[in-house]
Structure 1
């Protein structure tokens, strides 16, 4: 993947239930290319099928599918020249695999798969957190995930930017301002 194009690929990561998908929808409405979270798509597929690769059933199988899907997603938009926003993706899946197996995220994410230097992190936000059919883990588990992600992005050389706890339109403005 060309370095120029990859530097336009922006990761939205952070705590589950922190508003990433809602932010992604606003960015999409504003005309940007967006890539939905692999994990949510996998859970939806698995719940219609046998359910063997659900994160609460087999985290390793789930993470490996998410990594494969994230590489495929990226390949499909590699020539997009404007900002592309990813709801989670490759690094998040690599961190899940590390949590499940001990395989370092840095061993899973190849050097040629860099994203934009700034990664926007949704901090834990208990007031908006909701458990649903596709998100079954507790807020406490979300906190642990958040800290693993912060550590991993730092170790991989990314600059993490904590998203303020403000309304979604203002959050979108904040992200776009940071990128300008």
Structure 2
């Protein structure tokens, strides 16, 4: 791979988006999480929780969006791109709810490979529920386990980011790239 495509993963409310925002503020090229965008767009169309009501449709939209992000990242002039979540996250969430998915989902995860995967641990002190994050903390813990299992299934080594200040978390990540 000619470019470092680094992803931050973790269950809901672990601080991924906060770290992405801080990396952007430091001048790094970053791609945001797109599930909130998909969820909020569905809510405008009267579907309160697309993932809960139509999990395969939601997942197809996410996979397509994350595939596009990956391809766009490859065209960036930057040597390194950070992303908030990756393609295997979609499968982890489907496994979490026990929904089968087409073989193409698996094929995409095998085809589009990330350089490094940093996982943020569940952190009850920073966890917040809102209109786009419906999971409670116990569910977030279960999702975390599915993320770990799914990424390991695809052969990724997960680097756990310690619970610390945003600046220290960023230093931890940058020191390991």
Could you state the TM-score of these two structures normalised by the residue count of structure 1? 0.88
Give the 3 Å change call, closer, same or farther, for CA 53–63 of structure 1 in structure 2. farther
Residues 138-179 of structure 1, C-alpha deviations (whole Å, 9 max, x = no match): 111111110001011111111101111001111111100111
Residue aligned with 1:109, SS: helix
- Measured after TM superposition, the shift of residue 54 of structure 1 is 1.7
- Measured after TM superposition, the shift of residue 95 of structure 1 is 2.2
Question: Which residue of the partner structure matches residue 40 of structure 2?
Answer: 44
Moved more, 81-90 or 137-146: 81-90
Choose which of 118, 121, 128 in structure 1 pairs with 2:119: 121
Residues 56-98 of structure 1, C-alpha deviations (whole Å, 9 max, x = no match): 3222221111001111122222122421111113111132234
- Measured after TM superposition, the shift of residue 52 of structure 1 is 6.9
- Measured after TM superposition, the shift of residue 109 of structure 1 is 2.7
Question: Which residue of the partner structure matches residue 168 of structure 1?
Answer: 166
Equivalenced residues, count:
174
Question: Which residue of the partner structure matches residue 69 of structure 2?
Answer: 73
Q: Where does 1:25-174 land on structure 2 (aligned, <5 Å)?
A: 25-51=21-47, 54-80=50-76, 81-99=78-96, 100-103=98-101, 107-116=106-115, 118-174=116-172
Cα distance in 1 between the residues matched to 2:139 and 2:104: 19
4+ residue runs over 4 A deviation: none
- 1:59·1:96 contact (CA, 8 Å) conserved in 2? no
Give the 3 Å change call, closer, same or farther, for CA 110–143 of structure 1 in structure 2. closer
Q: List alignment gaps of at least 5 residues for structure 2.
A: none
Residue aligned with 2:118, SS: strand
